Structure 1
Amino acid sequence: MGTFGRRTANLCSLAMAAIGWICIVFSNSVTLLLLARFLQGLGMGMIAALGPVLIGEYTSPKNRGLFLMTISVTVSMGVFAIQTLGAYLPWKICALACIGIVLFNMAVVALSPESPTFLADKERYDECRKMFKYLRGDSENEELEKMITTRMMAKKQQIDKVETFAEKVYFKVNYLKQTFKKKEFYKPILIMFHIFTMSQWSGVNILTSYTVVLFEEVIGSRSGINIPLMIVLIGALRIMENIIGMVFIKLLRRRVMLFITIAINVTALLAIAGYSYARVCNWLPYDMPVVGTILIHIHMFSVATGALPLGYVLAGELFPMEYKGLCGSISMLFFSMNLFVNMKTVLVLVNSWGLYGMYCFYAGVMVYCLIVVGMLLPETKDRTLQDIEEDFRCRKQ
């Protein structure tokens, strides 16, 4: 996205997804299914890094948080839709439906404008002004001119023309060394590492991928509650809670929302851990499946309004203009690593520590990450991306 543009990168990610779904439709072996999932993983990694950056560059400071929250809403809608389709239709028919969605998205992206930030970075200033006004009108010209002026000054400090291959290599290595020393580069990455750690260790994966395990551990398989129905309800409520999060992001400052929702998340994790432990030890006077159900829904509320969507919001606000592609890629690497480790350890931890031990461990991870983020994260609500970048550059800590 730094070399060819946000739109081209977006189309490439969608092409990967489409090819993956086509492989699934025509698959007749496990090998082809694994190839399909590999291609879809590439596409997901690309769009996960690109999506927040693109929305952050498209939108005005006042509406940026609201639009970035739509990523979480659409992810929830996709999860809910595919789980519902998968319950009633053959999986190859579901794959065909997904191909249709991807093709529609490709048409939307092809008709969309290029990011003004990318155009400014490539010194295409007339196009930058045109696209900026197309997206935001004439009310934010000050931000536009400040962005262009900053980029012009940065270009003057760079050596664009080097003659030999050795000089190019030396320039690139030296450029990376200098980049990694800059506060506006490493501080956002450090913050996003902990934000993405919180998003994955908040319990979201057990809520979405191991829901049956969660309900059996907290409520019990003989509780009389319709667990498949509860799974569908959780998916529907997740969408509603994401929409509530959109209201919160519009009204509350980012740091306030972060501390409130993560505090609820940690409390829910510890409450579920305590309730689960009490069930295992037979300390409850009688079986109370309603209590467990309420605790699970409070947990989902905290995840859907805070830990998960705030990762997308901050990923679209913190990265400096010059290094968006590099910062986004490194941060998404952390996201993917946390997702992989968390998903692969759920059953291992449940079997060895019990749900209560695993949730206490999750709560400890969340508290640690919240402390680090609280020390480093500046307030970003209603501020321009350029102002946020300069804040990182000038901060003393």
Structure 2
Amino acid sequence: MLENNVESLRNQLTIARNEINKLRQQVKNLSHVQRKDIDDLSKLLRDFRCEGCRQNEENTKNSNDAINQELNGCDQTTTTRFRPIGVIKTSFPEKRAVPRQSSIGARLKGVIELNAEVFTNPEHSLDGLDEFSHLWIIYHFHKNNSHPKAKVAPPRLGGERVGVFSTRSPHRPCPIGLSLVEIDKIEGSTIIFSGTDMVDGTPVLDIKPYIPFYDAPNVIESGRLSVGEPTVDFYNSRQEPDGEESELELNGAVALPNPPNFANHISPPPTAVKVPNWIVSGHRLSVLFNERAESQLHELQVRRQCIVDILEADPRSVYLRTKYGSQIFTFQLSEVTVTCKFDDKNSTVTVVQIRRTENVQDEST
């Protein structure tokens, strides 16, 4: 009797093992099918083009083919690749509320860290730069994923569109940014500067010293500043964002010295600086703090003026401003999140809360 029971159990165990082996084979087959489906989906996503993109690519291909035929097979390069020389560290982990011009973030510090792979001794490339007060930074809008448009809507025009090349918009066919910043200090292969209008982690393509003899027009006509005006403090005059510079800034720091008269030749009359009226006109918002926000400023040791600089220039997009009007608006500044309420009727914005941002990585750990 016992032997029969043992034999029965052995048979059941054999059947169970066979079933398990079948299940394992089925799982293996399903895994193979799943991997194949994932590969197919990945390929579809990589190759996906909207109808407009496909049409543009076809038009570009036809145009390039025609050009190549016309040039009898001459080698034409349609794409140029640049290798970043470094990266910019700022207080803005996201694009939201990033100042549209470096003057708006004049009190915000940034750091350029040069890549060690570019030069054997990257600090040697900065030798002599500390003799200059200001610096041009050329960089890549690496988080600008939208399609470039021939016409864009600058904030100051309230929805009206103009050609992209008549604005400072980041939505360009070649997403390259240019900012003028003030050099604070150079340490080894890093540059500490004032004037932040970049997202943290922005790749740097090049840096060049600011030279007023070549970079700043100095004769203004037709109701603008003229020769002999009082000296202008550079950063006190730089206040408006994204094609919204103040009149003094647009006139190119006019009080800077005249260019030298090289080889004793008489310099030709400089050309007057001219800008459209929609850039010169405009207003700034009044920034208020409620009692709680005032207390949180002190508690979190946040510089009040940094928040004021960002908000008085109205960091909202034209879409947000026209679609929703007065609204709650939040943005992250370094390790804090600022919440404010816009009042478009009275041209004010009130900061209602400043709190420490959750899940911020501590670089010291």
Whether TM exceeds 0.5 here: the answer is no
What TM-score results when the alignment is normalised by the length of structure 2? 0.20
Q: Which has the larger radius of gyration?
A: 2
What TM-score results when the alignment is normalised by the length of structure 1? 0.19
